[in-house]
Amino acid sequence: MQENGVVNEDLVSRERIVAVDGVELWAEEFGGPGHPVVLLVMGARAQGVQWNDGIVRRLVEGGRRVIRYDHRDTGRSSVVDFAVRPYTVADLASDALAVLDAFGVERAHLVGASLGGIIAQRVAVTDPLRVLTLTSLSSQPLGTDTAALVRRALEGAPPGPGELPPPSAELLAALAATLPDPGAGLEGHLALRLPLWRVLHGSVLPFDEEEYRAMERRVYERARDLTAGFNHTLAGAAGGDDTAALASVTAPTLVLHGTEDPMFPPAHGEATAARIPGARLVMIEGLGHTLPTALDARLAEEILRHTGDREDAV
């Protein structure tokens, strides 16, 4: 994104820094102030700009006011000393509400990807009056013990009775090989990250290396500390949420999930939809655990359809 706030020639953003509990969060909004708000919540270690500009543009053209932001420990937001000030998913959910407050938004359509889906689910449970609709994308049910799934997979043990499947063995190997090296420079960073994106992308849709290279270059250039995002894993491991709480969600819910997701295999999306009353599950053929621009139109279309199902208020 250019420093003048122009993502491209026809999409202008308004940026601000949101202060919450001693942390500063970078955020930006697009679209008309009178339009219903869609808050885009990214996943673990991911920056708000990893919501593709193509998705944002299509949502704005569809009559939505769109807000995206950097979680604490990502992008231009504050880097936190986790040992001194540990935080949980509950705190990340509070951050999302603080972003809405800063933009003067009482109620919003929440769209969360991966960890962002879990954060959005939590807000729908704890603050239902703030949520117009919920969209959980490439995620899993709130309260799932992912760390235990991964631990058992690394030990070679199958999932226990009623447990969801772990990430694929190929992905676990790729994740283990991609610990960041702060001294590697941009090219070293790209060489480390691109093999991981190949696995996350899945094997069905064509892999556009230049697309992922450009995205990672943008991430690298914006990051205060590329290693800080690993604190999100610690935050998620802190637990404290109960999957049964999803039965209390009253917001109309859409669950979008990829048929090729190696991080949260399709059973995770199915379980999320099954545990939220009235949720609608849409499986996206060929989608892995990324947001390839080739699917911008499809994903935006699904979000626009879901967020247009009822009268909205800002």
- In the chain, what are the domain boundaries? 9-307
pLDDT of residue 309: 55
Residues 6+ apart with CB under 8 A from 249: 121, 124, 125, 128, 134, 276, 277, 279
pLDDT at res. 237: 76
- Residue 304 is predicted with a pLDDT of 98
pLDDT at 183: 76
Strand, coil or helix: 284: strand
Does residue 285 register a pLDDT over 90? yes
What proportion of the chain, given as a percentage, has pLDDT over 70? 94
Query: Does the pLDDT of residue 163 top 70, yes or no?
Result: yes
What integer pLDDT is reported at residue 4 of this predicted model? 32
The tokens for 184 are: 């590697």
298: pLDDT strictly greater than 60: yes
**Beta carbons of 121 and 112 less than 8 angstroms apart:** yes
Indicate the pTM of the whole model.
0.94
**Given the residues 261, 268, 306, 312, the one annotated as active site:** 261
Active site (annotated) includes residue 114 = yes
Is 261 known to be catalytic? yes
Percent of the chain with pLDDT over 90: 81
User: Residue 28 corresponds to which amino acid?
Assistant: E
Beta bridge partners of 40: 68, 111
From the list 114, 136, 138, 139, the catalytic residue is 114
Whether the predicted pLDDT of 313 surpasses 60: no
**pLDDT at residue 161 above 50?**
yes
Per-residue pLDDT band for 303 (boundaries 50, 70, 90) equals very high
Say which CATH topology domain 9-307 has.
Answer: Rossmann fold (3.40.50)
Q: Which of 289, 296, 306, 312 is catalytic?
A: 289
